[in-house]
């Protein structure tokens, strides 16, 4: 039986279309899991795919921090974050904090479509695999 994963979905404005297209292509697999997304990103994915998604606040309004808190509380298994490396963000500190906490807690993170494809198609994604998080259990 496929383990049910908790997956965070977020994208900057210039990358939202990429994430929506990726989610639409993978909606069969994604529909088997618990999905969480920041405001506008989640709304656009729902509109295009019909996927059931728990909506968080928009990124600049605390959504990135909500995802970070989920990671810190061991409530998020994967982070799909299509961020824009060429555009400054008004909430850049939150973006960096989210990426930092994902690395710190050893959460598999995709920052582009190629990596997201590799994660979702990996045999480990479809197994009982759970990345070690011992470093953060202090």
Catalytic residues: 64
Q: Left (φ > 0), alpha (ψ -120 to 50) or beta: where does 50 sit?
A: left
Chain centroid to CA 134: 21
Tokens of 31: 């529909």
> Rounded CA gap, 128 and 119, in Å?
14
Tokens of 54: 């728990």
Q: Apex CA 75: angle with CA 117 and CA 115, to 5°?
A: 15
């Amino acid at each position: 039986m496929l383990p049910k994963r908790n997956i965070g979905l977020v994208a900057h404005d210039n990358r939202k279309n990429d994430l929506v297209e990726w989610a639409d292509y993978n909606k069969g697999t994604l529909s088997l899991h618990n999905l969480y997304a920041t405001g506008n990103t989640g709304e656009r994915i729902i509109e295009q795919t019909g996927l059931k998604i728990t909506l968080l606040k928009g990124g600049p309004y605390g959504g990135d921090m909500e995802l970070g808190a989920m990671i810190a509380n061991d409530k998020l298994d994967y982070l799909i974050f299509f961020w824009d490396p060429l555009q400054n963000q008004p909430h850049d500190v939150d973006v960096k904090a989210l990426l930092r906490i994902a690395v710190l807690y050893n959460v598999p993170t995709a920052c582009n479509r190629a990596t997201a494809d590799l994660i979702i198609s990996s045999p480990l994604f479809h197994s009982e695999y759970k990345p070690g998080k011992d470093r953060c259990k202090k």
